[in-house]
């Protein structure tokens, strides 16, 4: 009887462990995952709960290896950040840049490898192209005035189509005059 009681006492603990092991964020705490976690990847994982559900799914599925960084606001009000094209890999590191508000972003892009790359960057409704010959760096100043989710990528030799793209997430509220006058829309059902 005592042995049966001991087994039943373990059931709530086993149920809790089983529930928590199914949680996506807790699976990241495995030692084999933690040893690979670089600071930009840790920043990405920490940011996911703050992003709305559809964008969270996109970011989590595609950019877990590129990571996330927060642009630093300079004394002049310009935000600055850096990204790298990883040698022998078609990925930007970090792949997601968070701007705390709309404004100017000065982005330094490094290409330390032997492949030619370019950065096709958003710029207030248009785009800007920054050429990156092998072993070079370049700097671009773009302006993104409105909060939102913008993409950038490498247009060289279908690098973009092979996952060499990323996002710039501009935080902040949309001004009242730019908001749509409609009721909240329902989210699609989760799988």
| pLDDT (0 to 100) of residue 159 | 85
* Distance separating alpha carbons of residues 106 and 111, to the nearest angstrom: 17
Which of 163, 188, 190 minimizes the C-alpha distance to 92? 163
How many independent structural domains does the chain possess?
Answer: 1
Is residue 42 included in any domain, yes or no? no
Is residue 137 included in any domain, yes or no? yes
> What CATH number is associated with residue 159?
2.60.40.420
157-183 pLDDT per residue, tens: 888 877 788 999 998 876 677 666 666
Which of 143, 174, 170, 173 minimizes the C-alpha distance to 70? 170
Region 19-24 average pLDDT: 50
| pLDDT (0 to 100) of residue 31 | 47
Question: What's the pTM?
Answer: 0.62
| pLDDT (0 to 100) of residue 59 | 55
* Distance separating alpha carbons of residues 98 and 171, to the nearest angstrom: 7
Is residue 185 included in any domain, yes or no? no
Is residue 38 included in any domain, yes or no? no
Secondary structure of the chain in HEC code, one letter for each residue = CHHHHHHHHHHHHHHHHHHHHCCHHHHCCCHHHHCCCCHHHHHHHHHHHHCCHHHHHHHHHHCCCCCEEECEECCCCCEEEEEEECCCCCCEECCEEEECCCEEEEEEEEECCCCCEEEEEEECCEEEEEEECCCEEEEEEEEECCCEEEEEECCHHHCHHHCCEEEEEECCCCCHHHCCCCCCCCCCCCC
Domain that holds residue 78: 68-174
37-63 pLDDT per residue, tens: 556 566 666 666 555 555 555 555 555
Is residue 113 included in any domain, yes or no? yes
User: How does residue 12 score in pLDDT terms, banded at 50, 70 and 90?
Assistant: low
Question: Which residues make Cβ contacts (< 8 Å) with residue 16, sequence separation at least 6?
Answer: none
Is residue 134 included in any domain, yes or no? yes
By the 10 Å C-beta count (0-12 exposed, 13-18 middle, 19+ buried), 143 is classed as middle
| pLDDT (0 to 100) of residue 130 | 95
Is residue 6 included in any domain, yes or no? no
- The residue count of the chain comes to 191
Is residue 21 included in any domain, yes or no? no
For the record, the structure tokens of 136 come out as: 């070079």
114-148 pLDDT per residue, tens: 999 999 999 997 899 999 999 999 999 999 988 88
């Amino acid at each position: 009887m005592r042995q049966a009681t001991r087994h039943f006492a373990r059931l709530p603990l086993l149920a809790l462990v089983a529930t928590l092991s199914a949680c996506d964020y807790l699976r990241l705490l495995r030692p084999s995952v933690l040893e690979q976690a670089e600071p930009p990847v840790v920043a990405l994982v920490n940011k996911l709960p703050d992003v709305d559900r559809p964008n969270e799914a996109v970011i989590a599925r595609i950019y877990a290896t590129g990571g996330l960084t927060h642009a630093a606001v300079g004394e002049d009000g310009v935000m600055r950040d850096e990204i790298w094209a990883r040698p022998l890999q078609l990925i930007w590191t970090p792949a997601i840049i968070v701007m705390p508000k709309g404004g100017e972003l000065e982005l330094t892009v490094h290409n330390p490898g032997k492949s030619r790359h370019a950065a096709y960057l958003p710029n207030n409704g248009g785009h800007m192209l920054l050429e990156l010959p092998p072993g070079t760096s370049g700097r671009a100043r773009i302006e993104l005035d409105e909060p939102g989710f913008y993409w950038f990528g490498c247009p060289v030799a279908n690098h973009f189509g092979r996952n060499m793209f990323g996002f710039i997430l501009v935080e902040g509220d949309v001004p009242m005059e730019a908001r749509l006058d409609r009721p909240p829309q329902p989210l699609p059902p989760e799988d």
